[in-house]
Amino acid sequence: MNPFEKALDHLSAAERLRSLSELEGLPGKFLQREGRRCLNLSSNNYLGLAEHPEVKQAGAQAVLRLGAGAGGSRLLGGGLPLHRELERAVERMRPLGKALLFNTGFMANLGVIQALAPMLGPVFSDKLNHASVAEALRAFPRAFHRYRHRDMAQLQSLLEGHRESGDAHPGLVCSETLFSMDGDFAPLRELLALQARFGFYLYLDEAHSTGCYPELVSQALAEGAETGRILIMGTFGKAYGGFGAYVAGPIPVIDYLVNTARSFIFSTALPPTVIASALAALRVADAEPWRREKLAENAAFARELFRKRGFDIGESESHIVPVLAGSNRAAVRLSTAMFHAGYHAPPVRHPTVPEGRARLRINLTCEIDPAEIKALADEISSALDESANEAGDG
């Protein structure tokens, strides 16, 4: 047995083996998988904009007018007026100074943290931050700190230790605004209060809240925050239904990233069709606020119903509603049962989430109806009851 087969067997035994499933056609509210029509509960298309006629038309016109690709990196001839138009739109949405496009949220987090950390000193990162943050920290030559999830008391203690060390660097604190696996929000006001006290740079990853909760960061920033040391990363590949990401922040910092963020410098620029679709999605989201309102209503209804049914959904307070199953095996069995009932909800397992907290991550969208949420809850109840009975028989 070669080492790769052995590693794959080990993953399989631990119920951690993943494989690619081929969908029959592009997924929307429903998708076709293995000949079965399923309600899609794993989509990041939270506002239903991926299929919006205006968004699709804008992308189609751009590719016909400008071509399939940018033809190079932004620094070597791949920059188009469309890129700056989208960056200016972001600057209006997140008025922190300047914005810079990246190809993905992963590439943005990787490039920003690796570029800024050597300048700013130690990094303080919430333990449940995205894997892209963890990946950036792996290559960080200096010490970094991971504080307990949303634990501002521990973060304060770490910051006090940094101050007492005599290190003149301000430090960099990283947090998601909406945590992608648990569906809970960061304590933004507490983070900003700590920033006012300690003077660190704050990097906020709002990948899963971009477009869905526009007031989330805006209200916090309006309360006297030191915006000269705040950077925000957002995406167009989730609520806005397309692809790509951005970082908004102080002008000198963004200019520094243009010169040092390797994932930006050495990547071909986003193609015109992606930029045009993102611009259209921003317009539609603002013109159709009912999409955000419906998403919030669906999320509140689902959380209340799931808790009444006794599902463990942790501290979810958003449209991301995990149903915790426990072990990897239990999550796989629950996901399989839901698939046979007509629901696409792949299991999320360790190491993506902590050991013993495997789950189905239910991603709600504005396109789902309360009746469908009620039927979903019925099926989850039935699957959990059947699983419990089988465990008891064993």
- The catalytic residue positions are 44, 130, 176, 180, 205, 208, 238
User: Is the four-CA dihedral 22, 368, 54, 107 of positive or negative sign?
Assistant: negative
Place of tokens 């317009």: 283
CB 286 within 8 A of CB 47: no
136 contacts: CB under 8 Å, gap ≥ 6: 109, 110, 112, 113, 114, 117
176 contacts: CB under 8 Å, gap ≥ 6: 126, 128, 129, 130, 186, 204, 205, 206, 207, 208
Round to whole Å and give the CA distance between 184 and 178. 6
Round to whole Å and give the CA distance between 56 and 2. 46
Structure tokens at 30: 């429903």
Cis amide prior to 351 (ω within 30 degrees): yes
